[in-house]
Structure 1
């Protein structure tokens, strides 16, 4: 049976406990075991993590990763353990850590006030296959992204909603990539637990992406 390591904490506005509880419950329903840590003390011995886990799920908006833990996490993913997550818990974690950002394939930089926007599925990848475009009322993440990402979904960000822009931007919203031997999945959706409950597509995409990333 595959096993996930969930590391949660950081800014509480993204409800790391509530969102990971929802995702972990669905992963368990699909046969994946989940170990949940409310700290990063587990990021100490890469060999043990590589032996025990198939995917790491960070849910830690902002904050700082302890000295040494960054190199442990990078080594674990390069060795083939997957990395998967959503919204700020993965895409806005450890802002000063560029090694982590390179692994994720992007970093949050701005969002307009809450608004309705459309998520456009642009791939027939199994992670998003059959879901179709859908609208949500939530945060729209503007991110700096790695051009090597395999983008699965996008949205349009306009100067009207984010005045710093000078033109409409097609913003990647969901992607997957490789980091060494590890598979990486990221979804910018899932601002809080209400998003996962109100828009079942968000939960389905997150769970499917995690299952794909698991080695």
Structure 2
């Protein structure tokens, strides 16, 4: 197991505390037997064949990326490298790149009310990623996303409409998985800042999801 390779690339908007979060995920993967490479920025995506990694974790928000490095990333996942991540570090990494969003399965568009209390409902208690985890209350940004209808939703949240009345009753995916070519893709919308890793279900769902996504 110790020969499995993971790449974390981090950066972008500082409000998501990308460096601190990347260190936590680095430790999480190392404890699970990965050799982890952690790099700031997107330059690493341009370094030839990314297929040598079993898992790639984007932790970068709202940056621009050159076409060739992005295509390297997409090609690696399509060929079997796993992709996994959380919150804006994965679902708002490259806002101008629909090909990336197609791979992820969704794109962040809003968080009405900013930091609020909301409920996370487990949709697939039979799935190993969320098995044994009950529905739970959460305080963070409640992500409103544009999502691929083909994703497999593991957890969701229902919008109250308090902060955007037209969203009342909307059921929104929070945790999902799907396939992109031969690659497994996992995403969790939870985890705005590093302190949220102290919430046990948030951290455990992400840990299990990353392990599932890895080749």
Question: Would you say how many aligned residue pairs link Structure 1 and Structure 2?
Answer: 211
The answer to which of 3-12 and 24-33 deviates more is 24-33
Quote the offset at 1:104 in angstroms: 0.3
Contact kept, 8 Å, 2:184 with 2:214, in 1: the verdict is yes
Could you say what secondary structure the match of 1:204 adopts?
helix
Residues 145-204 of structure 1: per-residue CA shift (max 9 Å, x gap): 0000000000011321223x253100000000001100000000011101112x111111
Corresponding position: 1:104 with 2:98: no
Contact kept, 8 Å, 1:46 with 1:73, in 2: the verdict is no
TM-score normalised by the chain length of structure 2: 0.95
Map of 1:208 onto structure 2 = 208
Structure 2: gaps of 5 or more residues: none
Pair 1:117–1:167, CA change in 2 (3 A): closer
Question: What is the CA–CA distance in structure 2 between the aligned matches of 1:31 and 1:98, rounded to whole Å?
Answer: 33
Map of 1:72 onto structure 2 = 72
Runs of 4+ in structure 1 deviating by more than 3 angstroms, as ranges, are: none
Map of 2:183 onto structure 1 = 182
Map of 2:140 onto structure 1 = 138
RMSD, aligned CA: 1.1
Map of 2:161 onto structure 1 = 159
Map of 2:40 onto structure 1 = 38
Map of 2:174 onto structure 1 = 173
Residues 17-50 of structure 1: per-residue CA shift (max 9 Å, x gap): 1111111112111211210000212112443x21
Pair 1:63–1:158, CA change in 2 (3 A): same
Contact kept, 8 Å, 2:119 with 2:138, in 1: the verdict is yes
Map of 1:92 onto structure 2 = 92
Contact kept, 8 Å, 1:46 with 1:75, in 2: the verdict is no
Structure 1: gaps of 5 or more residues: none
Question: What is the CA–CA distance in structure 2 between the aligned matches of 1:127 and 1:89, rounded to whole Å?
Answer: 20
Question: What is the CA–CA distance in structure 1 between the aligned matches of 2:13 and 2:186, rounded to whole Å?
Answer: 21
